[in-house]
Structure 1
Amino acid sequence: MTDARQPYRAARLVELASWIRSSDEDERWRLVAEFLEEFRHEEPVTRLALLREEPPPIGDPNWDAFLAGLAEHLAAKDGRAGPPWSEGHVLPRFWFPFNTPAARVDAFVHAPAAFRRRGVFVAASELDVA
């Protein structure tokens, strides 16, 4: 009998996008947290490869801009530029994923530049898993 198990590999951003597309809002944030946790344990060259491929549209421009910001933010943490596909994903109106008065203030003050320039206001503390 052969062992058909596949060796572990971290999820790519394009896979995260696919999972987000078919999930509800609460599940989406759990998936993001899991992606960030896996990403954190990879070597820098592997992390860059996980971000390289452009995800197809989610069907929600807010999430498309979030994923572009996430790719740029994570690449910048390794001293690299974001993948070319991440350029141009800018929202016409600000989006505060965690939309309580306190969360809005925190996000407005502490959103990383990669998100802020796209109109996505998520506090850096929300991304601290990575």
Structure 2
Amino acid sequence: METQPYQPLSLARLGRLLATADDSRRWRLVAEFLEDYRWEPAEARQTLLAEEPAPSGDTRWDVFLAALAEHLAARDDQGAPDWADQRSLHQFWFPFNTPAARVDAFVHAPAAFRRRGVFVAPEELQVA
């Protein structure tokens, strides 16, 4: 039996997986993507962000992926992929919607998320 070489999870593939997952599974998939991203060599990371994810069926998650792409690219001193600029929400979204989580996210959300209306605390992105 021939084995396939390991392929890290790209943001485009993550978007496809999010389309069929419930919220708890979505966060596990995001964590898996962040772990893959963290272990990739810096020069290869941009390829994981380059392809635009297809719509997931939930605009909030589509915007989250754009914010994540910009956030990770900026951490690597790179520009965000062009496709990411086109996505933002008209109403704020707090993925972790408890009073304490809302306050933490409102105060500390990374800029790429805040400017798109997605409020997530940096600790939620710490896998990478």
Q: Which amino acid aligns with 2:117?
A: G
Quick check: 38-47 or 94-103, which moved more?
38-47
Unmatched 5+ residue regions in structure 2?
none
User: Which residue is equivalent to 1:102?
Assistant: 100
Q: C-alpha separation between the residues in 2 aligned to 1:129 and 1:87?
A: 24
> How many pairs does the alignment contain?
128
Q: Confirm whether residue 12 of structure 1 aligns to residue 10 of structure 2.
A: yes
Matched, 1:37 2:35: yes
- Equivalent residue of 2:86, what SS? coil
The Cα RMSD (Å) is 0.7
Q: Which amino acid aligns with 2:126?
A: D
Larger Rg: 1
Q: Runs of 4+ in structure 1 displaced over 2 angstroms?
A: none
TM-score by length of 1: 0.96
Matches within 5 A, 1:1-130: 3-130=1-128
The structural deviation recorded for 1:44 is 1.3
Gaps of 5+ in 1: none
- TM norm structure 2: 0.98
Q: Deviations over 1:47-78 (max 9, x none)?
A: 10000000111111100100000000010110
What do residues 20-46 of structure 1 show as CA deviations (whole Å, max 9, x unaligned)?
A: 101011000000001101110001121
Give the fraction of aligned pairs with identical amino acids, expressed as a percent. 60
Query: Which one-letter code corresponds to 1:86 in the other structure?
Result: A
